Amino acid sequence: DVLLKYFPRSFVETLSKKLGINQLYPTQVEAIKSGVLDGRDIVLSAPTASGKTLVAELAMLKTLIAGGKALYMAPLRALASEKFEEFSSFFGVFGYRTAISTGDFDSDDPWLEKYDVIVTTNEKADSLLRHKARWFDKITLLVVDEIHLIGSDKRGATLEVFLTRTKLMPRRPQLLGLSATIGNLEELAEWLQAKPVRVDWRPVPLKEGVYYNGEIFYSDGSSTTLDDHGTPLYDLAYDTLENEGQILVFSPTRRSAVSDAKKLSAITVKFLKPQEFRVIREHVSRLKSVYTDKVTLELLELLSKGVAFHHAGLGLEARSAVEKLFREHLIKAVIATPTLAAGVNLPARRVVITDYRRFNVELGYYEKIPVMEYKQMAGRAGRPRYDKEGEAVLIARSLQELEFLLNEYINARPEKLQSQLASEPVLRSHILSIIATSENVRSYSTLGRFLTSTFYLHQNKDYFFVIERARSILEKLVSSGFLEVEGEKLLPTQLGVRVAELYIDPETATQGLNFFKSREKASTLAYLYMISATPDAQTVHVRRGDEEWLEEKLKVMKEELGFEPPEDDIEYEFFLQVFKTALLLEDWINEVPEDVIVERYDVGPGDIYSLTLTAQWIAFALSEIAKLSGYDVHAVNLGVLSKRIEHGVKEELLELVSLKGIGRVRARNLFNFGYKSLIDLAVAKEEELSRVPGIGKMLAKSIKKQLSSREEGEVDEEQPELGEPGPL
Ligand code: ADP
């Protein structure tokens, strides 16, 4: 009935008939009461699965009916594509079109103009703003999912700057921020000039407790004794599975996640029904045709026993299979690392957090996880429709720890979000981008005003600290040639504008320019090393035992690398890490099979994907910088290298991999059968092509079709495929 005030009757009927929404959840009622459908700016903080997505959908629907356009921002690509699927069907029912754009940070994506709902990542939204996408003015509603990520050390600042920019727009779109529980919701909302709305309701009640010595002690003072099966995890798993529930376990490292999964397989296998096993087996055999590396093979073996591990090293398809099988109740337990806790929708009856510490790979030690993260993990407990109650359990090893966990986690309030803007590398990128890409921030005083509008200053009020830091950053940006000063005015150079558009750290560009200046040409390995040493790059970790073979390699490759390794111990450590990464990338572009890379570098397919995505982007950006600065040879070399990293191939295959459906393996097969170029393919018979290993009838047909449409000069106006270039 509330909805009839805002939507035509036919819409409300469609909601009920086609989408099964007959009654609003309290979260939705609260948000509507607070004015989300009357155009008010709102930050909504409510538990997982309490129906925040429908709030967003209704607000978007309202704005679309009024002739507007909505932008939906998610922190992770995986989450963005999950929402894209969801929105495509929801808005499709009402005749509106949804698009997703998460890659290619050097484009304003004009094709998006035709869509009503646009789903992006935070970084992509920021880059669209930098490129001054024309359709941005048409956005009437901005939905920011997981807005609490403004406090995340690595990526929070991007969101903060983006929100500051939209805050200062002359025609500011309506804002709807969504979040799990946060300590200082009011402070955040006040900064955004939005209304804070806090809802504690959960569709499935949550019980939180600590396991100690065979018993679970709950926060309400009650306790329960479990049957003894030898270890805490076994006790908890048996108890859940015997009652037909599923268990989600968070384990601190990848290694521990895999070993916990192996241990639990002894239990899960007993609860697997034959028909469930059959469905799982189908998925397993499909995945076997995609992956042959040892990480995935280990996973597949466990899947057949009704359990899986889940971490960022898994390839995309393997990960989504795990999620799907778990959601469909086919596998009984998932053991995940906490890193992914934020993004993935994996509800279970019982959530177990085996360790309140987490391994920080960068710092090399264990740290306490924040309460907020614990609450997010705990919030996954309880599946609507399946469970009457959800349960989150921490494991204590001593009485003291039991006390500690009850006080410091279960009964504790989540931390306050803190702005992360003031760190220098973050601030230098954003100051350059603000000056370079917005005409109205081009002087000391307007920059000062901009900084005053940030969450950082709202929280910290230490204006002079920020201004001092900004001044020293400005000096460096001027001396590196990205900015010029004319009296009061700050003017971006052409180079500065390009760096901001390319979405790289100014320091990355400076390192690139120094490299170009110092040599006329370079070996492929030297380029790969240079790319991997920039602050934008991702690197692999050097483990015990790596040092030896890396040093052996170094002996033979010093010449190629073109310089001496550093003497200093700490620098040397970083050097080895970058060197190992460069070797991995070199293997990748020399078509070393994925399973060999997984083994050699101790990474997973998911790591290869994200490493190469980032490296490819840096190579592309630096090739653009080289072009602009007159280093033509480097520009061409890096351009080719970027393409090779994208596809993981030698140069001779670049033409073939430009076809859809042709990756590094199939392209090599075609090449070996004598089809070395698009022209060779154009003159070949479809039947002959279909006989090449890995091609088959369907793909042969598709190749032919793609080639003939290229001849006719048709341009693909449709959405680019997922997984386009771009960091993250
Ligand atoms: P959140 O975004 O808060 O984590 P979701 O929006 O994903 O939670 O909601 C969890 C589940 O509840 C979804 O499966 C959704 O379809 C369902 N749901 C949400 N609102 C309603 C409603 N009013 N009636 C029935 N089901 C609903």
Q: Which residues lie below 8 Å from residue 595, measured CB to CB, with a gap of 6+? A: 291, 292, 293, 294
Which of these ranges, 104-118, 158-172, 345-359, has the smallest mean pLDDT? 104-118
* Spacing, Cα 354 to ligand 1 middle (Å): 28
Helix (H, G, I), strand (E, B) or coil at 486: strand
* Spacing, Cα 406 to ligand 1 middle (Å): 30
Rounded mean pLDDT, 421-431:
88
| Structure confidence by residue, pLDDT tens digits, 376-399 | 899 889 988 889 999 999 999 999
Q: What is the pLDDT of residue 392?
A: 97
* Spacing, Cα 52 to ligand 1 middle (Å): 7
Paired strand residues for 70? 117, 141
77/238: higher pLDDT? 238
Protein residue with least CA distance to atom 17, ligand 1: 51
Rounded mean pLDDT, 335-355:
84
* Spacing, Cα 269 to ligand 1 middle (Å): 32
Protein residue with least CA distance to atom 7, ligand 1: 49
Confidence label for 583 from pLDDT (cuts 50, 70 and 90): very high
Confidence label for 723 from pLDDT (cuts 50, 70 and 90): very low
Q: What is the pLDDT of residue 182?
A: 86
The atom of ligand 1 lying closest to the CA of 51 is: 6
**What is the DSSP track for 552-613?**
HHHHHHHHHHTSPPPSSHHHHHHHHHHHHHHHHHHHHHTT--HHHHHHHHT--HHHHHHHHH
* Spacing, Cα 328 to ligand 1 middle (Å): 17
* Spacing, Cα 433 to ligand 1 middle (Å): 38
345 pLDDT above the threshold of 90 = no
89 pLDDT above the threshold of 70 = yes
Rounded mean pLDDT, 547-572:
90
Which of these ranges, 27-31, 153-157, 176-180, 642-646, has the smallest mean pLDDT? 153-157
Confidence label for 2 from pLDDT (cuts 50, 70 and 90): confident
- Name every protein residue with a CB atom under 6 angstroms from any ligand 1 atom: 21, 23-25, 28, 46, 48-54, 384
Which of these ranges, 161-165, 436-440, 580-584, 618-622, has the smallest mean pLDDT? 436-440
Q: What is the pLDDT of residue 727?
A: 35
* Spatial contact of 271 and 300, defined as CB atoms under 8 Å apart: no
- Map tokens 């073939």 to a residue: 656
Q: Which percentage of the chain shows pLDDT scores above 90?
A: 76
Protein residue with least CA distance to atom 24, ligand 1: 21
The atom of ligand 1 lying closest to the CA of 20 is: 25
Q: What is the pLDDT of residue 722?
A: 40
Protein residue with least CA distance to atom 12, ligand 1: 51
| Structure confidence by residue, pLDDT tens digits, 647-677 | 999 999 999 999 999 999 999 999 999 999 9
* Spacing, Cα 59 to ligand 1 middle (Å): 15
Which of these ranges, 286-300, 416-430, 579-593, 671-685, has the smallest mean pLDDT? 416-430
104 pLDDT above the threshold of 90 = no
724 pLDDT above the threshold of 60 = no
Pocket test for ligand 1, best of 3, 23, 53 (most atoms within 8 A of CB): 53
The atom of ligand 1 lying closest to the CA of 21 is: 24
Protein residue with least CA distance to atom 11, ligand 1: 49
Q: Of 323, 285, 320, 328, nearest to 304 (Cα)?
A: 285
- Prediction pTM value: 0.90
* Spacing, Cα 53 to ligand 1 middle (Å): 7
Q: What is the pLDDT of residue 242?
A: 95
Q: How far apart are CA 510 and CA 496, in angstroms?
A: 11
* Spatial contact of 176 and 2, defined as CB atoms under 8 Å apart: no
The atom of ligand 1 lying closest to the CA of 23 is: 23
Which of these ranges, 55-59, 140-144, 468-472, 476-480, has the smallest mean pLDDT? 468-472
511 pLDDT above the threshold of 60 = yes
**What is the DSSP track for 512-550?**
HHHHHHH-S---HHHHHHHHHTSTT---PPPPTTHHHHH
* Spacing, Cα 36 to ligand 1 middle (Å): 17
Rounded mean pLDDT, 54-80:
94
* Spacing, Cα 54 to ligand 1 middle (Å): 6
Q: How far apart are CA 417 and CA 185, in angstroms?
A: 8
Model ipTM value: 0.98
Q: What is the pLDDT of residue 728?
A: 33
717 pLDDT above the threshold of 70 = no
Write out the E strands in 616-665: none
* Spacing, Cα 50 to ligand 1 middle (Å): 6
Q: What is the pLDDT of residue 59?
A: 98
Protein residue with least CA distance to atom 8, ligand 1: 49
Mean pLDDT of the chain: 92
* Spacing, Cα 24 to ligand 1 middle (Å): 9
Protein residue with least CA distance to atom 14, ligand 1: 49
579 pLDDT above the threshold of 60 = yes
Q: Which two tokens stand for residue 353?
A: 């957090």
The atom of ligand 1 lying closest to the CA of 48 is: 4
Q: What is the pLDDT of residue 340?
A: 66
* Spacing, Cα 194 to ligand 1 middle (Å): 23
Q: Packing angle between helix 605-628 and helix 494-502, nearest 10 degrees? A: 170
Protein residue with least CA distance to atom 1, ligand 1: 49
Rounded mean pLDDT, 414-427:
89
Q: What is the pLDDT of residue 359?
A: 78
**What is the DSSP track for 193-235?**
T-EEEE----SS-EEEEEEETTEEEETTS-EEEPPP-SSHHHH
Q: What is the pLDDT of residue 383?
A: 87
Confidence label for 88 from pLDDT (cuts 50, 70 and 90): very high
Pocket test for ligand 1, best of 54, 82, 375 (most atoms within 8 A of CB): 54
Q: What is the pLDDT of residue 339?
A: 73
**What is the DSSP track for 69-126?**
EEEEEESSHHHHHHHHHHHHHHHHHTT--EEEE-S-TT---GGGGG-SEEEEEHHHHH
* Spacing, Cα 61 to ligand 1 middle (Å): 16
Rounded mean pLDDT, 216-241:
96
Protein residue with least CA distance to atom 10, ligand 1: 49
Confidence label for 726 from pLDDT (cuts 50, 70 and 90): very low
The atom of ligand 1 lying closest to the CA of 54 is: 6
Confidence label for 714 from pLDDT (cuts 50, 70 and 90): low
The atom of ligand 1 lying closest to the CA of 46 is: 3
